[in-house]
A and B are shown apart, each in its own frame.
Chain A
Amino acid sequence: MATSRKSTHLGEFAAMLLIWLGLWLLFSFFSHNFLSWRTLSGLANRIPTLMVVSAGMTLVLIIGAIDLSVGSVLGLAGAVLGVAVVNWHWPFWAAAWACMCVGLAAGILNGLISVQLGVPSFIVTLGMLEMSRGLAYLATHSQTEYIGAPVEGLSRPLSAVGCSPAFMIGAFVTGVCQLVLSRTLFGRYLVAIGTNEQAVRLAGINPRLPKIAVFALVGLLTGLGAVFYTSRLGASDPNAGAGLELSAIAAVVIGGTSLMGGRGSVVSSFFGVLIIATLEAGLAQVGASEPLKRVVTGAVIVLAVALDAWRRHLAGSKFTFLSRLFSSRFA
């Protein structure tokens, strides 16, 4: 029934929300300044890039593939944005389009090679990771290019609402991706392909097109993420996005999306992003060093996924009280 499907989704989101609020409370206990409008607003302005990339990464993981190139492609797209504004004197909007087109092109290339030639996406996108980073260095002569005012407006919090246009676009993109996933033909095909691609093919659906489209989409969203990133920094940095692929995968996985494909939710990934970002902000606030932050973040990722696996195990056993509390099923 449609109603039961909705309620299980909501249960899932509620659980994520609770974990996030728990983190806030924990850090507020250690640091009195943490629970404030300023922290929240700061958080909102730090995450748009990770939000949109994670939304795309969710869809890629749902079809049972992976995209390791997002960080480098973001670097390359950002580099193109910088060169277009500074060297070619393009207006910001035109440069932003170019930036997104670079992301889209990289995504389409990933998709075509992996789907048409049957090369595992892990390998294709690993190659793309190296290539894009190299191209980013070539485009910028390995220099960080200061851009300044023309790009910064997108990331400056609007005084009326307290968050930046970038965050609002990111939230909108997250919502649209979730709707596409759960309510459209394309989304259903993605889930089906991730569950059993062979069966999808024998049901008379050609899985190639949706698969290529997913890689294209994550490329496009990475391009958008590059616009946000450059805008927040006020400069184009060839090192931008290093390690972003891991943060995005972590956020998606914390959100309960299966690495095996066939199951996942974009909104849950958004909560995964919030949890990672809150953790980092909170640890910084309580004075943890950078290395210590990484140790804790790493541990939290593993813990979150282990909890998720345990919860599903309980849901499978079907009779404990805990399983009723936590169980849910995805359409």
Chain B
Amino acid sequence: MPPAQLLRVSGLQKSYSVPVLSDFSFELLPGEVHALVGSNGAGKSTFARILSGLTHADAGQMEFAGQPYSPHSKRDAENAGVVMVMQELNVIGTLTVAENIFLNRLPRVAGFVRYGQLRKMAQEALARVGLDDLEPAIPARLLGVGQQQLVEIAGALAQNCRLLILDEPTAALTDPEIEKLFANIRRLQDGGVGIIYVSHRMDEIRRISNRVTVLRDGRRVATHPVAEVTPAGLVREMVGHDLPERKASGERGRGEVAMRVSGLRAGERVCDVTFEVRKGEILGLAGLIGSGRTETLRAIFGADRKERGDVFVGAGDRPALIRDPSDAVRAGIGMVPEDRKMDGLLLAQSIRVNTTLATLSRHVHGGGWLDFRAETQTTDALRQRLGVRCESAEQTVGELSGGNQQKVVIARWLARNCNVLLFDEPTRGIDVAAKDSIYQLLRDLAAEGKAVVMVSSELTELMALCDRILVMSNGRIVAEFLPGQWSQEKITHAAFSGYLDQATKPV
């Protein structure tokens, strides 16, 4: 007699620098697909990580198949039958597809891998996700992102799994691939496997899941049978109130052109991008991950090579020659990169060193000596303006929280007084309070007459901040929305439009 509940969670607590899960409770039946929704940072991923043994809860009870459950490692969770397919791809490119699927359980004799058996097992696993034709012995790096995702799912399905956690599994998949995935989910359901399905996509949730649980700020807001939910209702619960639609302001976005990009082409991800941004305007760049948003910013900034296209800064007719970020900075452009730890900060150095990095030549006196006092003054003024929480300007940046680190990167460009600021996912991995202060900062910058271009995957964020939203899809700008014209549905529809032709074409 199987227990009525496959998974029962109550009173779950977890905090890092801020609480990310508080008094969270959750139930899952065998054979149920239970969707988890919530805005970024609501605690969905943390819950998934606790279940799969990647991190531990601070407090709370978990019961899995009638037994107390608290996995100490991913291995532990997998032995119990809890398997997660993560949002970030974990495929190791240099290993073969087969090796990736069975990485932690390669069939072997006396330490030697039995490749014949591995191949057979891999073929079976791949067939299950519809990749029958895929050669299991090719290196995984040769696969596209969608196929890599499917390989990971195949790996999860090949285990003896009783609870499967899928975190945004369709982000990189094409429509036919999604159909195959859904067929698999139904098959698992019939076998009594419980599935936790983390997604932002309302249509998928309505198609595939039985119940939906909404999270907000680490708490469970509500659980509904899927038949009773509407997208608008879910969004309201996720946000906590009706979305604050930006009102079309007469003043903002009417300034002169600050930067014009024309016919930009760079790599495979940026095919033909043309747009302009005005002084005092916040221009949003929406689109799916991989649609070329980040690459567009990087190409404008000179971080990656452009093949074609011009960037005009200011009102002039002559394109700015930007071959390297130093050229862009000289032209008055600043970029806050997506990955602040890798691309933005000197983590082991002080706030002062990080803040003055782009303006160091203005902090010298007496013919070339650095003026530490002037540096400290600049840094103190900016950290007060931005509300950076720290001990002093000499504190190491690596010790700060994500939000404060991001403010340090922004401070660097404020010190430089750039006219055009490119923000790539400025609030990724930042707690709610810090997000708000970054939003306010972006508004202030626009009010000062700066031109702001902002890439974000959070549509609510873009819709609340921007004076105009451009949607990128498959390397092109496919739509432009003004306040009042946009909706999540319209933007999402546009974001997919560039891929629709491709999905139907035989590869």
User: Can you list 20 pairs linking A and B with CB atoms under 8 Å apart?
Assistant: A1-B393, A1-B394, A2-B373, A2-B376, A5-B372, A184-B369, A185-B364, A188-B353, A188-B360, A195-B349, A196-B347, A199-B346, A200-B346, A202-B343, A203-B357, A203-B412, A204-B325, A204-B329, A262-B349, A331-B349
Q: How far is the CA of A100 from the CA of B360 in the complex (A)?
A: 31
B116 within 8 A of A: no
A98 within 8 A of B: no
B343–A205 touching, CB < 8 Å: no
Q: Which chain B residues border A191 with CB–CB below 8 Å?
A: 349, 353
Q: How far is the CA of A258 from the CA of B368 in the complex (A)?
A: 26
Q: Which chain B residues border A187 with CB–CB below 8 Å?
A: 370
A205–B357 touching, CB < 8 Å: yes
A192 within 8 A of B: yes
Q: Which chain B residues border A196 with CB–CB below 8 Å?
A: 342, 345-347
Q: Which chain A residues border B345 with CB–CB below 8 Å?
A: 196, 199
B376–A202 touching, CB < 8 Å: no
Q: Which chain B residues border A1 with CB–CB below 8 Å?
A: 376, 392-394
Most chain B beta-carbon neighbours within 10 Å: one of A1, A4, A189, A262 = A1
Tell me the nearest residue of chain B to A198, going by C-beta. B343
Tell me the B111-167 residues at the A interface (CB within 8 Å): none
A201 within 8 A of B: yes
B73 within 8 A of A: no
Q: How far is the CA of A331 from the CA of B350 in the complex (A)?
A: 7
Q: How far is the CA of A188 from the CA of B349 in the complex (A)?
A: 11
B394–A4 touching, CB < 8 Å: yes
Per a CB cutoff under 8 Å, which of A183, A201, A262, A263 touches B370?
A183
Known: A183-B369, A184-B368, A192-B353. A204 touches B348 (CB 8 A): no
A143–chain B nearest beta-carbon distance, Å = 45
A313 within 8 A of B: no
* Per-residue A-contact encoding for B331-350, CB less than 8 Å = 1, 0 else: 00011010000111111111
* Per-residue A-contact encoding for B355-387, CB less than 8 Å = 1, 0 else: 001101100100011101100100000000000
A204–B344 touching, CB < 8 Å: no
Q: Which chain A residues border B349 with CB–CB below 8 Å?
A: 191-192, 195, 262, 331
Known: A188-B360, A192-B346, A192-B357. A202 touches B373 (CB 8 A): no
Number of A-B residue pairs at CB separation under 8 A: 87
* Per-residue B-contact encoding for A97-141, CB less than 8 Å = 1, 0 else: 000000000000000000000000000000000000000000000
Q: Which chain B residues border A199 with CB–CB below 8 Å?
A: 342-346, 357
Tell me the A24-69 residues at the B interface (CB within 8 Å): none
B324 within 8 A of A: yes
A142 within 8 A of B: no
B394–A204 touching, CB < 8 Å: no
B396 within 8 A of A: yes
Q: How far is the CA of A187 from the CA of B295 in the complex (A)?
A: 32
Q: Which chain A residues border B353 with CB–CB below 8 Å?
A: 188, 191-192, 331
B87 within 8 A of A: no
Per a CB cutoff under 8 Å, which of B303, B357, B392 touches A200?
B357
Q: Which chain B residues border A5 with CB–CB below 8 Å?
A: 372, 394
Most chain A beta-carbon neighbours within 10 Å: one of B348, B350, B364, B416 = B348
Tell me the A258-308 residues at the B interface (CB within 8 Å): 262-263
Q: Which chain B residues border A206 with CB–CB below 8 Å?
A: 324, 326
Q: Which chain A residues border B328 with CB–CB below 8 Å?
A: 204
Q: How far is the CA of A201 from the CA of B392 in the complex (A)?
A: 26
Q: Which chain B residues border A202 with CB–CB below 8 Å?
A: 301, 303, 325, 335, 337, 343-344
Q: How far is the CA of A263 from the CA of B348 in the complex (A)?
A: 9
